[in-house]
Amino acid sequence: MKLSPLAGKPAPASVLVDIPRLLTAYYTGQPDASIASQRVAFGTSGHRGSSLDLSFNENHVLAISQAICLYRQAKGIDGPLFVGADTHALSTPAAASALQVLAANGVEVMLSKDDEYTPTPAVSHAIICYNRGRSSGLADGIVITPSHNPPQSGGFKYNPPNGGPADSDVTKWIEAKANELLAGGLKDIKCMDHEQALQASTTHRHDYVASYVADLENVIDFDVIRSANLRLGVDPLGGAGVRYWSAIAEHYKLNLEVVNTEVDPTFRFMSVDWDGQIRMDPSSPYAMQGLIGLRERFDVAFACDPDHDRHGIVTKNGLLAPNNYLAVAIDYLFKHRPQWRQDAAVGKTVVSSGLIDRVTARLGRRLYEVPVGFKFFADGLFDGSLGFGGEESAGASFLRKDGSVWTTDKDGLIPALLAAEITARTGRDPSQAYAELTAELGEPFATRVEAKANAQQKALLSKLAPEQVKSTELAGEPIEQILSHAPGNNQAIGGLKVMTANGWFAARPSGTEDIYKIYAESFVSEEHLQRLVAEAQALVDAAIA
Q: Which residues are known catalytic residues?
A: 147
* Rg of the chain in Å (alpha carbons): 23
Residues in Cβ contact with 372 at an 8 Å cutoff, skipping those fewer than 6 apart: 44, 349, 350, 351, 391, 493, 494, 508
Can you say how many angstroms the Cα of residue 461 is from the centroid of all Cα atoms in its chain? 24
Residues in Cβ contact with 186 at an 8 Å cutoff, skipping those fewer than 6 apart: 59, 62, 63
Instruction: Give the residue from 358, 168, 275 showing the smallest Cα distance to 176.
Output: 168
Answer for the pair 486, 434: CB distance below 8 angstroms, yes or no: no
Angle (CA) 81-413-161 rounded to 5° is: 25
Instruction: Give the residue from 503, 432, 454 showing the smallest Cα distance to 474.
Output: 503
* Separation CA 94–CA 18 (nearest Å): 18
Number of Cβ within 10 Å of residue 187's Cβ equals 6
Residues in Cβ contact with 290 at an 8 Å cutoff, skipping those fewer than 6 apart: 235, 259, 260, 269, 270, 271
Answer for the pair 185, 149: CB distance below 8 angstroms, yes or no: no
Amino acid letter for position 539: L
* Separation CA 366–CA 357 (nearest Å): 9
Beta pairing partners, 157: 143
* Separation CA 429–CA 367 (nearest Å): 25
Residues in Cβ contact with 209 at an 8 Å cutoff, skipping those fewer than 6 apart: 112, 113, 116, 122, 243, 244, 247
Residues in Cβ contact with 477 at an 8 Å cutoff, skipping those fewer than 6 apart: 500, 501, 502, 503
Can you say how many angstroms the Cα of residue 345 is from the centroid of all Cα atoms in its chain? 20
* Separation CA 110–CA 119 (nearest Å): 14
Residue 251: its H or E element = helix 242-252
DSSP 3-state of 492: strand
* Separation CA 454–CA 509 (nearest Å): 10
Q: Indicate the burial class of 250 (C-beta count within 10 angstroms; 0-12, 13-18, 19 or more).
A: exposed
Instruction: Give the residue from 54, 17, 51 showing the smallest Cα distance to 39.
Output: 54
Count CA atoms within 13 Å of residue 448 on its CB side. 14
